[in-house]
Amino acid sequence: MAGFRYHLKRLAPAVSKNPVKRAMEEGAEAMDFKEVVENRRAVNYFDTQRDISEDQLKQMVEIAAKAPSSFNLQPWNLIVLRDHQDKLRLQKHAWDQPKVSEAPVTMIVLADMDGWQPGHPVMEKDFAELVKIGMLQESQREWFENGCKNLYGTSDARKVAFACKNAGFFGMNLMLAAKSLGFDSHPMDGFDIDGVKEAFSIPDNYWVPMLLAVGYFRKDKTLLPPKWRKSYEELLVRFD
Amino acid sequence: MAGFRYHLKRLAPAVSKNPVKRAMEEGAEAMDFKEVVENRRAVNYFDTQRDISEDQLKQMVEIAAKAPSSFNLQPWNLIVLRDHQDKLRLQKHAWDQPKVSEAPVTMIVLADMDGWQPGHPVMEKDFAELVKIGMLQESQREWFENGCKNLYGTSDARKVAFACKNAGFFGMNLMLAAKSLGFDSHPMDGFDIDGVKEAFSIPDNYWVPMLLAVGYFRKDKTLLPPKWRKSYEELLVRFD
């Protein structure tokens, strides 16, 4: 990370309910966004001697939870594993990757395919809030429910797309929030989704879009150079 | 946005190939990550008089493209609309939301469900790079191809999950990169995916996980307070 400037600042101690403000009040390093993006790397080796405190973890998750979502439905949850035996149990279904148990915290990110359904507590809370702030009227409940159903509920593909796109927002924010607090992470796809769901009794309404190991990079290891990315010209397409 | 500090710095002019470094060299505002997360809001009204330059847009997209992805497959592309008629054509399929055409730039984010297939140019480039850096050997091609196929290709749901999770990473990064450069954005789900695909001749291998309007907030409008988010306690679950 040589060559990057960290903007350190420490503010007077205080306790704010806002996780972003609290992190800064508590003296978290303020790190420029572009540096966070640049410094976030998928790290294969974690220092098994360095833990992440419960308060640090909470800050990370609460910052990440600021991600937007379809109609604010926030169709994501987390299983947070700290116990070594739990992590080994997960590792067995994750191609036996050592980082699953070497990281102090390993998360199973869950994407709720039913997050748009009428009666879902988050959906109900969202609707109530939209009525409260005057954006919708109680009489528009059917219109709102049908809108969600037509967008997210008319096929399995749409349910998966809804859940995984939004969980992708949250997952990206988790990785960046980790880096902004000085942690390293590694997102993993290499796992048996059915095995993981069975091992942790995860209900059918959840897809498991990723595992995320979080901790500190092992200093005796060397990071490979960043992988290539598509250029702007490669990213932009037009078919009409 | 009162109450947040922007950390301004201007460095000596230079031209770097790295989009993050270039943005900073060119005097982009350095904004603390947590402030970017906090200040990113879905903005309903865009200033129709303020444009985004091609260079600004390129910076935004290149910063966002630093998002990680499954095996670095980067299964995402963008259709960038600036032409007013093009935007009106999209708006027709997007619940006639005025912001689609009021924003100077409106993007159709594409998620490539075939991004893991053997023969896909990105997949081939990835494999070649993994061989080059010694992480894989040429003889492991079949193993690599089967791994991707088993993870992403065994059902329509898996293809959609692969494409949309990764496009979600990219989409989140796009919104944050926009904010870090001083732009506002609005992610949209309210559109007819089949209508949009037909109107812009988008091939079948793409899912359309979101539209994204990018520009500047109209200063004569007032932003609603941020919507509620799930608490840490609500986010963490356990079923076993």
CB B216 within 8 A of CB B178: no
Using a CB-CB cut-off of 8 Å, the residues of chain B touching A156 are 156-157
Cβ of A36 and B38 within 8 Å? no
Query: Along the 240 residues of chain A, how does pLDDT read in single tens digits?
Result: 333 333 333 333 345 666 666 655 555 567 899 999 999 999 999 999 999 999 999 999 999 999 999 999 999 999 999 999 999 999 999 999 999 999 999 999 999 999 999 999 999 999 999 999 888 999 999 999 999 999 999 999 999 999 999 999 999 999 999 999 999 999 999 999 999 999 999 999 999 999 999 999 999 999 988 999 999 999 999 999
Confidence at residue A7, expressed as pLDDT on a 0 to 100 scale: 37
- The chain A residue lying nearest B30, using CA atoms, is A32
Q: How many helices (H) and strands (E) does chain B have?
A: 10, 4
Tell me whether residue A110 is in a domain: yes
pLDDT digits (tens, 9 = 90+) for B19-54: 666 655 555 567 899 999 999 999 999 999 999 999
Tell me whether residue A233 is in a domain: no
A interface test, pick of B129, B172, B240 with most A CB neighbours within 10 Å? B172
Cβ of A62 and B232 within 8 Å? yes
Cβ of A207 and B161 within 8 Å? yes
Closest CA to A87 of A102, A77, A68: A102
Q: Write out the residue range of the structural domain in which residue B59 sits.
A: 42-219
Tell me whether residue A107 is in a domain: yes
Q: What is the ipTM of this complex?
A: 0.90
Task: Point out the residue among B42, B160, B169 whose CB comes nearest to the CB of A172.
Answer: B169
Closest CA to A48 of A95, A100, A109: A100
Cβ of B79 and A237 within 8 Å? yes
What is the pTM (predicted TM-score) of this model? Answer: 0.90
Tell me whether residue A29 is in a domain: no
Q: How far is B191 from chain A (nearest CA, A)?
A: 8
Tell me whether residue B31 is in a domain: no
The total domain count for chain B is: 1
Q: For residue B208, is pLDDT > 70?
A: yes
Q: How far is A180 from chain B (nearest CA, A)?
A: 7
Tell me whether residue A26 is in a domain: no
Q: How far is A53 from chain B (nearest CA, A)?
A: 14
Cβ of A20 and B34 within 8 Å? yes
Bridge partners of B214? B105, B185
Closest CA to A114 of A81, A146, A158: A158
Cβ of B34 and A28 within 8 Å? yes
Tell me whether residue A106 is in a domain: yes
CB–CB contacts below 8 A, A to B: 234
Tell me whether residue B233 is in a domain: no
Residue B50: CATH number of its domain: 3.40.109.10
- C-alpha A16/C-alpha A151 separation (Å) is 37
Cβ of A71 and B189 within 8 Å? yes
